């Protein structure tokens, strides 16, 4: 993948359009027609060559267009023409300038205050399931099939793998799972390296000893 | 935005959009404003927040407080979200915080291999390199090599912990307090703390001698 290229004194946005693209994503999200997981998945749906070629905020722009169309907020014809279709009514923006500080300060918790029993306990050894779902998943490929140890239970959270597809929040426990780098990568890795991955109950299975 | 139609380049055949992202975003904003879907003044307020109000100085204040106040540090490890809120920070992409501590024997490094998850409320928006394919892919498989590129050379006896931000937990590294900073006040300590030190790709450098 090549070297990492930090930029000294990097600006928050490199171009005005990046700032506008960022803000458009947040402001349009205030319509609550999609959730954060669906938004992430929409970037994953970009054609792979585009995904690798596009800059970060180009991806955000492309994904926003698709989300807006799927949500029925705009039509593809409107995107193409740049103007509202004749006879379309004018909406009222859900996010006003006055609301911005409180909306950002409040955020949107992904934890859920529901009683769901944890399937695993801190200190228990687990295996990340070897699954390859066609849609969105937060189980990284490099962890699949590997054995780790539950480091801590973070509590109950929305499950992105279903939420991204609007198939429900399916709240369940999220754990920080500690994997030895050698378990993930083999002998080339340092025996003193560990990777901690946040995984949900549905990503994990018990290790039979 | 009729000038779109003059563009010859299209990303692929189904996307009738201009190739220049600046034009594309301008056209999108004007459409959404015209349809009443977004308020341009709200966009200005969002941009102003992350350009001028929320950034790594927030996280630096958390770190400095933890260095001078052992009880605060304990609260930070017990419930980072609540402890960070004591200083007035929280909200979007900081709803569920975890603080991990660097020590002489443990070095922590934060990444998001799946996208670009980052603790906005304490660090602001992530730098380009954090969102880049090289960092996202290499941080988990070769953390020591990545750290060397950043000028952090660890001996083999130091344990490296890489935190892959795959869920909504957001990680902040509490760096080691540098030698030579024993007599500094909290504000001066905060001034030493860099963004990269709170991601884990840097250590906090010793302070310059006053008057030097």
Strand partners, B107: B160
Q: How far, in Å, CA of A175 to CA of B212, rounded? A: 49
pLDDT band for B208, please (50, 70, 90 cuts): confident
| B13 has a pLDDT exceeding 70 | no
Residue B112 appears among annotated catalytic residues: yes
CB-CB contact of B204 with B131 (8 Å)? no
**Confidence at residue B182, expressed as pLDDT on a 0 to 100 scale:** 87
**Confidence at residue B207, expressed as pLDDT on a 0 to 100 scale:** 86
Alpha-helix runs per DSSP H in A5-145: 16-29, 36-44, 48-53, 56-71, 76-81, 100-106
Q: How far, in Å, CA of B83 to CA of B198, rounded? A: 16
Q: How far, in Å, CA of A203 to CA of B63, rounded? A: 33
Q: For residue A192, give the nearest of B27, B128, B158 by CB distance.
A: B158
Q: What is the DSSP string of B96-132?
A: SEEEEE--SSEEEEEE-SSS----HHHH-SPPHHHHS
Kindly name the residue from B19, B30, B105, B116 that is annotated as catalytic. Answer: B116
Query: What does the pLDDT profile of chain A (209 residues) look like in tens digits?
Result: 889 999 999 999 999 999 999 999 999 999 999 999 999 999 999 999 999 999 999 999 999 999 999 999 999 999 999 999 998 889 999 999 999 999 999 999 999 999 999 999 999 999 999 999 999 999 999 999 999 999 999 999 999 999 999 999 999 999 999 999 999 999 999 999 999 999 999 999 999 76
Residue B115 appears among annotated catalytic residues: yes
For residue B145, the chain A residue with the least C-alpha distance is A3
What element of type H or E holds B172? strand B170-174
**Regarding the domain delimited by B54-199, which CATH topology (the fold level of the hierarchy) does it fall under?**
Nitrile Hydratase; Chain A (3.90.330)
Domain ranges of chain B: 54-199
- Phi and psi at A189, nearest 5°, equal -80, 155
CB-CB contact of A44 with B157 (8 Å)? no
Contact A193 B49 (CB under 8 A): no
A81, A104, A138, best to mutate vs chain B, most B CBs in 10 Å: A104
Q: Name all domains of chain A by residue range, CATH numbers in brackets.
A: 16-106 (1.10.472.20), 125-206 (2.30.30.50)
Strand partners, A111: A157
Q: How far, in Å, CA of B173 to CA of B190, rounded? A: 14
- Phi and psi at A148, nearest 5°, equal -140, -175
Residue B117 appears among annotated catalytic residues: yes
How are beta strands A193-200 and B159-164 bridged, if at all?
Answer: parallel
Residue B105 appears among annotated catalytic residues: no
For residue A56, the chain B residue with the least C-alpha distance is B131
pLDDT tens, B144-176?
A: 999 999 999 999 999 999 999 999 999 999 999
How are beta strands B97-101 and A172-180 bridged, if at all?
Answer: unpaired
Q: How far, in Å, CA of B29 to CA of B51, rounded? A: 19
Q: How far, in Å, CA of B82 to CA of B99, rounded? A: 12
How are beta strands B97-101 and B170-174 bridged, if at all?
Answer: parallel
Contact A88 B46 (CB under 8 A): no
Contact A64 B94 (CB under 8 A): no
Q: What's the predicted TM-score (pTM) here?
A: 0.94
Q: How far, in Å, CA of A15 to CA of A5, rounded? A: 18
Complex ipTM over 0.90: yes
Chain mean pLDDT for chain B: 91
pLDDT tens, B24-70?
A: 999 999 999 999 999 999 999 999 999 999 999 999 999 999 999 99
| B8 has a pLDDT exceeding 60 | no
């Amino acid at each position: 993948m090549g070297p990492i290229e930090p930029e000294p004194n990097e600006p928050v946005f490199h171009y005005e359009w990046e700032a506008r693209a960022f803000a458009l994503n947040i402001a349009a999200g205030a319509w609550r027609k999609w959730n954060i997981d669906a938004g992430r998945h929409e970037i994953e749906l970009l054609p792979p060559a585009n995904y690798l070629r596009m800059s970060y905020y180009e991806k955000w722009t492309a994904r926003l267009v698709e989300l807006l169309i799927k949500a029925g907020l705009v039509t593809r014809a409107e995107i193409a023409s740049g103007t509202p279709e004749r006879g379309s009514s004018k909406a009222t923006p859900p996010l006003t300038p006055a609301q911005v500080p409180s909306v950002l300060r409040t955020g949107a918790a992904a934890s859920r205050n529901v009683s769901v029993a944890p399937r695993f306990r801190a200190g228990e050894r687990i295996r990340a399931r070897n699954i390859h779902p066609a849609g969105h998943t937060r189980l990284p490929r490099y962890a699949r099939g590997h054995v780790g140890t539950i480091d801590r239970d973070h509590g109950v959270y929305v499950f992105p793998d279903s939420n991204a597809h609007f198939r429900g929040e399916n709240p369940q426990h999220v754990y920080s799972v500690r994997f030895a780098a050698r378990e993930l990568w083999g002998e080339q890795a340092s025996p003193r390296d560990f990777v901690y991955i946040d995984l949900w109950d549905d990503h994990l299975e018990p290790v039979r000893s | 935005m009729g000038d779109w139609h003059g563009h010859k380049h299209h990303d692929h055949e189904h996307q009738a959009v201009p190739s220049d992202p600046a034009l594309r975003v301008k056209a999108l904003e004007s459409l959404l404003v015209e349809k009443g879907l977004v308020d341009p003044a709200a966009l200005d307020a969002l941009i102003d927040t992350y350009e001028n109000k929320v950034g790594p100085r927030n996280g630096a204040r958390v770190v400095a407080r933890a260095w001078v106040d052992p009880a605060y540090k304990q609260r930070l490890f017990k419930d980072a979200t609540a402890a960070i809120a004591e200083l007035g920070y929280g909200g979007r992409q900081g709803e569920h915080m975890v603080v991990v501590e660097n020590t002489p024997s443990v070095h922590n490094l934060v990444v998001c291999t799946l996208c670009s998850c980052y603790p906005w409320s304490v660090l602001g928006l992530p730098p380009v390199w954090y969102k880049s394919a090289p960092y996202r892919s290499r941080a988990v498989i070769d953390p020591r090599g990545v750290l060397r590129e950043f000028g952090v050379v660890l001996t083999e006896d130091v344990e490296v912990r890489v935190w892959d931000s795959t869920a909504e937990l957001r990680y902040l590294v509490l760096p080691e307090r540098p030698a030579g900073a024993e007599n500094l006040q909290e504000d001066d300590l905060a001034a030493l703390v860099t963004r990269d030190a709170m991601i884990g790709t840097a250590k906090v450098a010793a302070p310059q001698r006053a008057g030097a």
